[in-house]
Structure formats: structure tokens, C-alpha cells
């Protein structure tokens, strides 16, 4: 199942759990230490493709949910019960302990949009734009990611974000022109 919206979770173990369940772009807040930079990235994701919040069923998870929802607005909410998110061995609670099927069910209950279209961009596009395959590819991706508001990533993740967010080709070309110091006509 491929999800169109970006899923917001608390930590990297939650990212792994969600990626075992679905094909989706996932952003971790870093727990209660959520930064302004992360909030901006989530806000941009909300504008481009929508946001689904899937946090732990506990007080910090609810607090993070409130912070993100207040900042982004119009988020979808996926919920797990404490029983669904409980580790069988330690008794700890978290998204990272939920079975893939339980995560899929929670996302479907949140009325996520499944991604139906083919990818807009390929690795060939990144090569053509000088965003990979050269010594300056990483710097160029970082700068374009800043311009587009999709963040700094490796080439594979950058391509995934362009496709997940549905960034229009014209916007990418304008960003590339801006990087080159050219005025876009």
C-alpha cells in the first residue's frame, strides 16, 4: 500500500515500523524535542501532499500531535490503542511495537489517500539536473531542497520526496534557475 500523504511519527524506530507496513514518506519529530526546522518541513509536506499524524498512544504522543496539528492544521489522525502498541516482551508502548497490519488499519481508518499515479521523476532526471553523479550533486540537492522546502537528503530520498510531494516540474526548473543565479522568465 502506497500512501500519498506524509506520515508524521515520533522517532526513527517508528519510521522503520511504518515503512514495514506501507510505502510512504515519513518524518520523525524527534520526540518532544521537535525543532522549528522539523515543523517547517512538516508544514511544507502539509501544503504539498497532506499530513497524517501517527504518534504513540501516551501523553507525549498526544502533546506532539497537538503541536503539529496546531502548526500545520487540517492533518489527518491515525490512532493506535495502548494494547495495539504494546511490546509483548517489555510492556513498553510505542508505534515501533505495532504489527504492520495494525499500522495499515490505523492509516486506513484515518482515510489516507493511496498513491495511484506513476512516479513523475526518475534518477535520470536527477542526473540531468546535476543533483547526483557529480562531486557537487550533494551541495546542489541541499540548495534545491532548501528552495523547494523539502529538506536536505541523499539522492534516493530526494527523488522519493519529489515524487511523494508531487513537486511540479516548473517549480523544480525555477529552483534550478535560481540556484544558477538566473532570472526565470
User: Same domain, yes or no, for 20 and 74?
Assistant: yes
Name, in order, each residue with C-beta under 8 angstroms of 14's C-beta and a sequence gap of 6 or more.
26, 28, 54, 56, 94, 95, 96
pLDDT at site 73: 86
Helices 59-72/36-48 angle, 10° precision: 60
The range of the structural domain enclosing residue 130 comes to 123-179
Same domain (yes/no): 10, 98: yes
| Global pTM value | 0.77
Residue 117 has pLDDT above 70, yes or no: no
In a domain, 184, yes or no: no
Q: How confident is the model at residue 48 (pLDDT cuts 50, 70, 90)?
A: confident
Residue at 24 is within a domain = yes
Same domain as 104, residue 32: yes
- Percent above pLDDT 90 for the chain: 80
Residues 89, 16 share a domain: yes
pLDDT over 60 (residue 185): no
82 and 43 fall within a common domain: yes
Residues 101 and 156 grouped into a single domain: no
DSSP single-letter state for residue 115: P
92 plus 128 within the same structural domain:
no
> Residue 117 burial by CB count (10 A; 0-12/13-18/19+): exposed, middle or buried?
exposed
91 in a domain, yes or no? yes
**Number of helical (H) and strand (E) elements in the chain, helices listed first:** 8, 4
Per-residue pLDDT of 121-152, as tens digits, reads 999 999 999 999 999 999 999 999 999 988 88
Residues 13 and 102 in one domain: yes
In whole angstroms, give the CA distance from residue 5 to residue 108: 12
Q: What confidence tens digit (pLDDT) does each residue in 56-68 have?
A: 999 999 999 999 9
User: Residues 18, 72: one domain?
Assistant: yes
Q: How far apart are CA 26 and CA 137, in angstroms?
A: 23
Residue after which a domain boundary falls, among 109, 143, 169:
109
Residues 98 and 129 both lie in one domain? no
How many distinct structural domains can be found in the chain?
A: 2
Region 169-183 average pLDDT? 84
* Tens digits of residue pLDDT in 60-102: 999 999 999 999 988 999 999 999 999 999 999 999 999 999 9
Sign of CA dihedral 112, 115, 120, 122: positive
* Average of per-residue pLDDT values in the chain: 92
pLDDT classification of 163: cutoffs 50, 70, 90: confident
CATH of the domain at 54: 3.40.1360.10
103 in the same domain as 40: yes
Amino acid at each position: 500500500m502506497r500512501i500519498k500523504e506524509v506520515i508524521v511519527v515520533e522517532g526513527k524506530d517508528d519510521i522503520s515500523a511504518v515503512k514495514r507496513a506501507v510505502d510512504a514518506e515519513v518524518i520523525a519529530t524527534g520526540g518532544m524535542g521537535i525543532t522549528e526546522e522539523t515543523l517547517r518541513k512538516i508544514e511544507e509536506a502539509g501544503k504539498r501532499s497532506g499530513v497524517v499524524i501517527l504518534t504513540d498512544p501516551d501523553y507525549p504522543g498526544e502533546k506532539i500531535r497537538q503541536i503539529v496539528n496546531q502548526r500545520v492544521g487540517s492533518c489527518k489522525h491515525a490512532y493506535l490503542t495502548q494494547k495495539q502498541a504494546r511490546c509483548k516482551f517489555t510492556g513498553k508502548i510505542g508505534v515501533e511495537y505495532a504489527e504492520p497490519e495494525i499500522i495499515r488499519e490505523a492509516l486506513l481508518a484515518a482515510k489516507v489517500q493511496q498513491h495511484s499515479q506513476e512516479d513523475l521523476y526518475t534518477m535520470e532526471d536527477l542526473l540531468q539536473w546535476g543533483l547526483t553523479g557529480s562531486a557537487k550533486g550533494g551541495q546542489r540537492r541541499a540548495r534545491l531542497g532548501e528552495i523547494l522546502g523539502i529538506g536536505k537528503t541523499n539522492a534516493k530520498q530526494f527523488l522519493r520526496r519529489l515524487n511523494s510531494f508531487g513537486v511540479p516540474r516548473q517549480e523544480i526548473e525555477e529552483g534550478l534557475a535560481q540556484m544558477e543565479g538566473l532570472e526565470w522568465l
